[in-house]
Amino acid sequence: MRKIDFVVIGAGIAGLSAANRLARRGSVLVCETEEACGFHASGRSAAFAHFDMDSRLVRALTAASLPLFGRTAARFHPALFIALDGQERKLNSLASDYREWAPRLERLSADEVQGMVPILRTGKGGVVGGLLDKDARKLDAHAMLETHRKSIISAGGEIALRSPIKGLSRQAGRWIVDTPSASYSAKVVINAAGAWVDEIARLASVAPIGIAPLHRTVITFDVVGQHDMRAWPFTKTAGPGFYIEAEGTSRLLACPMDEHPSAPCDAQPGEEDVALTAWRIEQATTLTVPRIASKWAGLRSFAPDREPVVGFDAAAPDFFWLAGQGGFGLQTSPALALAAEAIAAGTDWPEELRAVGVEAGALSPARLD
């Protein structure tokens, strides 16, 4: 039985980014159930980095992450946050939170918002104002995953696809990790299995932490008319509503920001959620959605307090949680990987996290006890 320093369970962005950091600290093996990296949440994200998050901790982790994205992983693209009629207070609160990390944030009138995204309605029931962040980033999830994958292999690490975890047991001070094709003796197990982290914990006879997978829907459709949407900002309502993002010159991606509890699964779009997306777009814009070009769904997994969880389990030696990245896993992955490396390998706390006021205790699973 081979001995491995760090066995990482899950090849999404959380697992791969942490494994990439840990590969310089010891031997690393990533075990992934699916036949490709990033098959679930990481590969189904809108992949945009901004500060419209309710959690100050997540905003701080985003701020720490932005300088760490490589050129192929992120490019500047504006983000526009709009208030529909009745959402003015929410927009004001967002502006206050946002400016801590993006002081160049601009306040826009309804007419200025419509000038940027001409399909938006103004007046009663329509857009009443907005906030523009010209320093937001469009992320390339595939490039991020591939960069980490190649770096892990280059450093001597391994990624075992189609390797679901069948057993986890503690023997002689190490974890025995069983897959269908092999078993490994691990010094540390990193549980980065996304929506399945509590199931992995149960396999190891470790108490779950209450991760809740929430279902989210995305559609794309073609826009008829004389619109070149390439310069349109990523556009998101400040309160309940939707977000939209241009894909090329005439195709629009849309999401109703739905959150339905779900069991861990290969999420699929429901017809009611697809219809809700189209309805919300038609209510707030001049568009009709006659035909859906594509549709998909994903699971965003949250801890009970909706904050990320990074750290060793208090009751299970060398069992490490890397979980609860919700809808912000891509944009916080560089910072969370730094945190995982420092805690799991016992190195100094990263200055990048200290500079934004993030300490290990804020991420620890002990806070959920």
Give tens-digit pLDDT for 19-67: 999 999 999 999 999 999 999 998 888 899 999 999 999 999 999 999 9
Query: Which pLDDT belongs to residue 230?
Result: 87
Alpha-carbon gap, residue 22 to 342, rounded angstroms: 9
Alpha-carbon gap, residue 32 to 176, rounded angstroms: 16
**pLDDT tens for each residue of 206-222:** 999 999 999 999 999 99
Alpha-carbon gap, residue 107 to 103, rounded angstroms: 11
Asked if pLDDT for residue 226 goes beyond 80, the answer is no
**Dihedral (Cα; 253, 38, 17, 214), 10-degree rounding:** 70
Instruction: Note whether 19 and 41 are within 8 A (CB).
Output: no
Residue 181: Cβ within 10 Å count: 8
Query: Which pLDDT belongs to residue 43?
Result: 87
Query: Which pLDDT belongs to residue 149?
Result: 98
Average of per-residue pLDDT across 248-264 = 94
Q: Is the pTM for the entire model greater than 0.85?
A: yes
Alpha-carbon gap, residue 136 to 255, rounded angstroms: 19
Q: Is residue 205 packed enough to be buried (19+ CB in 10 Å), middle (13-18) or exposed (0-12)?
A: exposed
| Alpha helix stretches (DSSP H) within 117-257 | 141-154, 197-203
Radius of gyration of the chain (CA): 21
Query: Which pLDDT belongs to residue 125?
Result: 83
Query: Which pLDDT belongs to residue 327?
Result: 87
Query: Which pLDDT belongs to residue 200?
Result: 98
Chain-wide mean pLDDT for the chain? Answer: 96
Q: What stretch of H or E contains 198?
A: helix 197-203
Asked if pLDDT for residue 227 goes beyond 80, the answer is no
> Between the CA of residue 340 and those of 151, 292, 327, what are the distances in Å?
17, 40, 19
Burial 283-315 (b: 16+ CB within 10 A, else e): ebbebebeebeebebbbbbbbeebbbbbbbbee
The pair of structure tokens assigned to 247 is 């894909």
Instruction: Note whether 292 and 219 are within 8 A (CB).
Output: yes
Q: What stretch of H or E contains 38?
A: none
Query: Which pLDDT belongs to residue 246?
Result: 94
Phi, psi of 337 (to 5 degrees): -65, -40
Strands 167-171, 174-178: pairing is: antiparallel
Question: What 8-state DSSP symbol labels residue 248?
Answer: T
Query: Which pLDDT belongs to residue 224?
Result: 81
